[in-house]
Amino acid sequence: MKGKKKMVLLNPGPVNTSDRVRNALLRGDMCHREDDFSKIQRNVRDMLTDTFARNDIHTAVIFTGSGTAAMEAAISSSLGEGKTMLVVNNGVYGERISKIASIYGFNKRELVCDWRKPPDMDEVEAALEAHPEVEVVALVHHETSTGLINPVKEIGERCKRYGRIFLVDSISGLGGEEIDLVRDNVDICMGSANKCIQGLPGLSFVIVRREQMERMRNLPVRSMYLNIPNQWENQEKGGTPFTPSIPIFYALEAALEELREEGVNNRIARYKKASSILREGFRRLGLTLLLPEEFLSNTITALHLPDGVSYQDLHDNSKKEGFVIYAGQARLKEDIFRVANMGELAPHELTNFLKSLEKTLGEVGCRP
Ligand SMILES: Cc1ncc(COP(=O)(O)O)c(C=O)c1O
């Protein structure tokens, strides 16, 4: 990057991007009602299904809006009239699903679980058995609030067995964690451009099993902007009902090309390696992790704030050194901080961060 010194973003999105992705923004002015845009939109939608699912089984819809727009679209467009949504909730984003379901006045059941572990599969199964009115089961793949990976495959298998629709928020998972939408019986999956896909913020998407799209087309329309069938029908015809964020499409197209060149498995391996460099360093510095090793994602480490250290001081000192770390959320706000390793990060940037963290911890009064 030319000019200003790079700020190393260790927050879970928006992430550091490549020159290629940022330069894509300069592709020039374009009208969204022209063939040029239709081609880009088609290419991006095809790359999404081809990379994360299968074109003949799933189809993609893109929204100009952040990840929450995709969440709201998926939740509001997927539940049949009078049916119930079961929300598996073990973190901030599980809570958000539940809140959205409430805003739309949906019947819902919540399986509220410990934030530091995956849900108990016996409890999930018991809920499905006891509540035949549950039509949609909603789960967050990677709980960004703690860095915990939820068991998509196991819950997908139960959804299939009990004939329920499986809705997964993989906004911080796709591109960084192992998931197979076909194998895992995922019917509806939300994602966003600016996390492990390494695009820029402003676009999110929903990947939908084609038979579910047909079902959703017969449900009542509950939102003008965030209705999946309306967006999909327009996008299938090469159009878009509203004005999209065209430059962010350019960037997402470049980011998906880059991801496919790197290979999803290689990207996952790169992130895994990056997180192990960081975690080894954290342990050396005497920091303790919120979660046990076996539940950890490849891209976020939540750490207890050492006694007497304020997050604000830690953040401000790290930022002076060129690193942006991230606070805990909700009930964990006072207790933890988070370090993410999504995006275009070189190994030396991670080791430099660890050196800077050691210095910062000393400066804020914590000598490991
Ligand atoms: C799992 C998950 N879901 C949803 C969101 C919401 O995305 P946004 O902040 O882009 O609306 C996030 C953002 O971090 C997330 O990590």
- Write the pLDDT tens digit of every residue in 137-158: 999 999 999 999 999 999 999 9
- Write the pLDDT tens digit of every residue in 44-87: 999 999 999 999 999 999 999 999 999 999 999 999 999 999 99
* Cross-sheet strand order for the sheet of 165-169: 58-64, 203-209, 188-192, 165-169, 134-140, 84-89, 107-112
CATH no., domain 19-261: 3.40.640.10
Contacts for 291 with CB less than 8 Å, ≥ 6 apart = 116, 146, 147, 148, 302
Contacts for 78 with CB less than 8 Å, ≥ 6 apart = 136, 165, 167, 188, 212, 216, 219, 228
- Write the pLDDT tens digit of every residue in 296-305: 999 999 999 9
The reply to whether ligand 1 has any atom less than 6 angstroms from the CB of 78 is no
The reply to whether ligand 1 has any atom less than 6 angstroms from the CB of 67 is yes
The reply to whether ligand 1 has any atom less than 6 angstroms from the CB of 185 is no
The reply to whether ligand 1 has any atom less than 6 angstroms from the CB of 144 is yes
Residue to substitute in 192, 196, 329 for testing ligand 1 pocket (most ligand atoms within 8 angstroms of CB): 192
**DSSP H stretches of helix in 114-222:** 121-130, 152-162, 210-216
User: What ranges do the domains of the chain cover?
Assistant: 8-14+264-363, 19-261
Ligand 1 atom 7 nearest Cα: 67
Whether residue 10 contacts residue 326, with contact meaning beta carbons closer than 8 Å, is answered with yes
Q: How many residues does the chain have?
A: 368
Alpha-carbon gap, residue 214 to 76, rounded angstroms: 15
DSSP 289: B
pLDDT of residue 2: 53
346 has a pLDDT exceeding 60: yes
pLDDT of residue 109: 98
CB atoms within 10 A of CB 70: 27
The reply to whether ligand 1 has any atom less than 6 angstroms from the CB of 140 is yes
368 has a pLDDT exceeding 70: no
The reply to whether ligand 1 has any atom less than 6 angstroms from the CB of 192 is yes
Whether residue 97 contacts residue 137, with contact meaning beta carbons closer than 8 Å, is answered with no
* Topology match between the domains 8-14+264-363 and 19-261: no
CA 201 to ligand 1: nearest atom: 10
Kindly state the average pLDDT of the residues 224-242: 98
CA 145 to ligand 1: nearest atom: 16
The rounded Å distance from CA 14 to ligand 1 centre is: 10
Kindly state the average pLDDT of the residues 111-125: 97
Alpha-carbon gap, residue 354 to 27, rounded angstroms: 37
Question: What percent of the chain has pLDDT above 90?
Answer: 96
198 has a pLDDT exceeding 90: yes
The reply to whether ligand 1 has any atom less than 6 angstroms from the CB of 356 is no
The rounded Å distance from CA 362 to ligand 1 centre is: 33
Model confidence at 364, in pLDDT bands (50, 70, 90)? confident
pLDDT of residue 4: 77
Q: What is the reported pTM?
A: 0.97
CATH fold for the domain made of 8-14+264-363: Aspartate Aminotransferase, domain 1 (3.90.1150)
The rounded Å distance from CA 310 to ligand 1 centre is: 25
- Write the pLDDT tens digit of every residue in 310-328: 999 999 999 999 999 999 9
CA 170 to ligand 1: nearest atom: 1
pLDDT of residue 365: 76
The rounded Å distance from CA 293 to ligand 1 centre is: 23
Whether residue 208 contacts residue 228, with contact meaning beta carbons closer than 8 Å, is answered with yes
Q: Token pair of 79, please? A: 């539940």
The rounded Å distance from CA 68 to ligand 1 centre is: 6
CA 72 to centroid of chain Cα atoms:
14
pLDDT of residue 3: 62
